[in-house]
Chains A and B, each alone.
Chain A
């Protein structure tokens, strides 16, 4: 393809795929370290399994497609998919959950569509949805935080045994997350006033001291990472803000209407994967709309779906489902949320010439 540079002015774009991916990885690192610190060696093993599987699958697919592996492996997108997948899995999940998820994310979620930039769905979330549908038992094994090097935490060898051999005494370690506890107890028609006290402290949950997926518990660190990404302009504000606002408005409104049945906004905002989804997952530039209006619609749709799934759906948490569903709606949103063409109305017709300008034109023609 020959390429003729247009005349000046030129827009300078220092952003490249490896740079963006590096920024996102760096922003996700604190929350990820927090997850590893809270849930011990098994979480780190799982992270290594998903990242290595993703890289191997990417290399194999690139080889099959006749593309140079080094160029595309080096951009970090496959590694980021592995990291995001590990962050969204239960920290003590067995190795094969991570491996199957990694293969599915890269082969079915990404390379089948043609590789980076072509995928319809967020690969990590697609893999998480697939794993949740396929392996409901392993994917809902939550545990209370047991920090690295504390007396409760497994040692390094024990960690290896948990990831690669299975958890020796599952019932002794597992405990429900806030959202699944909420769901079970509300199902028994108990009131919120009896359910939440003792189980849930917003402050601790916000810092990360709560059960959940490996990288989603520390909302504070994720928020810092997300704000840093915004500051570095790796992501735009529209999707996260619309998503969090939608959850805030829905949960706040319904909480005011019936505080005994609907948990307040602080529970919904600081539980589960909402923060991770808002800043790191829904903002994937490939699978989200391109225009600002479209991104607002996309974010609000994600937030509304998350709330609907959490409160009325079949699962206690719905970030992955919501993001994948809105990914599917992205082409439609892009179709309708197009920006106005310069000099034309929103409907695409030429803008009417102002009366004053008409008179001037006519007048100038008639001057002698």
Chain B
């Protein structure tokens, strides 16, 4: 196994993105992405947990026996999440009021345990740290993109209340794209999360191009078959 950082980052950010390719950690995604700011906050919190969890687990990987690895991983992750929970409560209390319940729930975020099992338990500390960071940033990217779409469609703003998360110097991020917007309530409700995610998957596949490994067999654009005919046309004309 070579520790090729470039490919680790390419995988984490795009090709093997937690949301767009692995389709993991969708529950917190549906819950918090009503605004891009919430998505950013949740993404950064998860990134912190992923990074530290990967480092700790990679460091302990030779001490943990195969039989008890999952409970040990869960305990380690739970300890780290408790730390993150208390840290956000102490230093970013406004964000804590928004994210509230969802920060402790990073414990059961399948992406964290998934990376621990699939990567950190087998690789060196440095590579695991890179993987945790890349996966976390990829997750943040997806959360911000989906949160941004839902926010623009749902309430006509972008990065509302960003100054609460990042400090007053980032108040310039808060944008009102559509003034006097009536509000599109569905996008802020859970169905909006499913709808936007449903459109984001094929959109990311198109972005990657036809040869992308993720969507090689994905979009069913009808192409002529070997005989130069389009099979659906035959049935339609039948």
Complex CA distance for A216 and B138, rounded to whole angstroms: 50
Per-residue A-contact encoding for B180-212, CB less than 8 Å = 1, 0 else: 001111110100000100100000000000000
A312 at the interface (CB under 8 A from B): no
A342 at the interface (CB under 8 A from B): no
**Chain B interface secondary structure, helix, strand, loop or mixed?**
helix
A172 at the interface (CB under 8 A from B): no
Query: Which residues in chain A, 71-114, are within 8 Å of chain B measured between CB atoms?
Result: 71-72, 100, 108, 112, 114
Chain B minimum-CB-distance residue to A72 = B236
Chain A minimum-CB-distance residue to B202 = A112
B221 at the interface (CB under 8 A from A): yes
Q: Given A133-B186, A134-B185, decide whether A3 and B221 contact each other with a Cβ distance below 8 A.
A: no
How many residue pairs at the A-B interface have CB separations less than 8 Å? 33
Complex CA distance for A202 and B158, rounded to whole angstroms: 51
Say which one of B45-53, B101-109, B139-147, B227-235 lies at the interface with A: B227-235
B222 at the interface (CB under 8 A from A): yes
Residues of A within 8 A of B183 (CB): 134
Complex CA distance for A95 and B222, rounded to whole angstroms: 34
B238 at the interface (CB under 8 A from A): yes
A130 at the interface (CB under 8 A from B): yes
Residues of B within 8 A of A136 (CB): 185
Residues of A within 8 A of B189 (CB): 133
Q: Name which of B186, B223, B232, B234 has the most chain A CB atoms within 10 A of its CB.
A: B186
A71 engages B235 (CB within 8 Å): no
A353 at the interface (CB under 8 A from B): no
Residues of B within 8 A of A343 (CB): none
Query: Which residues in chain B, 145-203, are within 8 Å of chain A measured between CB atoms?
Result: 182-187, 189, 195, 198
Residues of A within 8 A of B236 (CB): 71-72
Number of interface residues of B (CB under 8 A): 20
Q: Given A3-B238, A67-B232, A112-B198, decide whether A133 and B185 contact each other with a Cβ distance below 8 A.
A: yes
Q: Given A1-B234, A1-B235, A108-B195, decide whether A66 and B186 contact each other with a Cβ distance below 8 A.
A: no
A65 at the interface (CB under 8 A from B): yes
Residues of A within 8 A of B185 (CB): 133-136
A65 engages B221 (CB within 8 Å): yes
Residues of B within 8 A of A133 (CB): 185-186, 189
Complex CA distance for A3 and B231, rounded to whole angstroms: 12
- What distance in Å separates the Cβ of B111 from its nearest Cβ neighbour in chain A? 26
Residues of B within 8 A of A67 (CB): 222, 232
- What distance in Å separates the Cβ of A134 from its nearest Cβ neighbour in chain B? 4
Residues of A within 8 A of B232 (CB): 67
Residues of B within 8 A of A3 (CB): 238
- What distance in Å separates the Cβ of B78 from its nearest Cβ neighbour in chain A? 37
Residues of A within 8 A of B187 (CB): 134
Chain A minimum-CB-distance residue to B189 = A133
Query: Which residues in chain B, 106-156, are within 8 Å of chain A measured between CB atoms?
Result: none
Chain B minimum-CB-distance residue to A71 = B236
A1 engages B222 (CB within 8 Å): no
- What distance in Å separates the Cβ of B36 from its nearest Cβ neighbour in chain A? 20
B221 engages A66 (CB within 8 Å): yes
Chain B minimum-CB-distance residue to A137 = B182
- Which 8 residue pairs of A and B lie closest in terms of their CB atoms, listed nearest first? A134-B186, A134-B185, A66-B222, A66-B221, A134-B184, A133-B186, A130-B186, A1-B234
Residues of A within 8 A of B (CB): 1, 3, 65-68, 71-72, 100, 108, 112, 114, 130, 133-136, 138
Residues of B within 8 A of A (CB): 182-187, 189, 195, 198, 220-223, 231-236, 238
- A-B pairs with beta carbons under 8 Å apart, 24 shown: A1-B231, A1-B234, A1-B235, A3-B238, A65-B220, A65-B222, A66-B222, A66-B223, A67-B222, A68-B233, A71-B236, A100-B184, A108-B195, A112-B198, A130-B186, A133-B185, A133-B186, A133-B189, A134-B183, A134-B184, A134-B187, A135-B184, A135-B185, A136-B185
Taking A1-B235, A100-B184, A135-B184 as given, write out 5 further A-B residue pairs in contact, using a Cβ cutoff of 8 Å, ordered by the A residue number: A1-B231, A65-B222, A67-B232, A134-B184, A135-B185
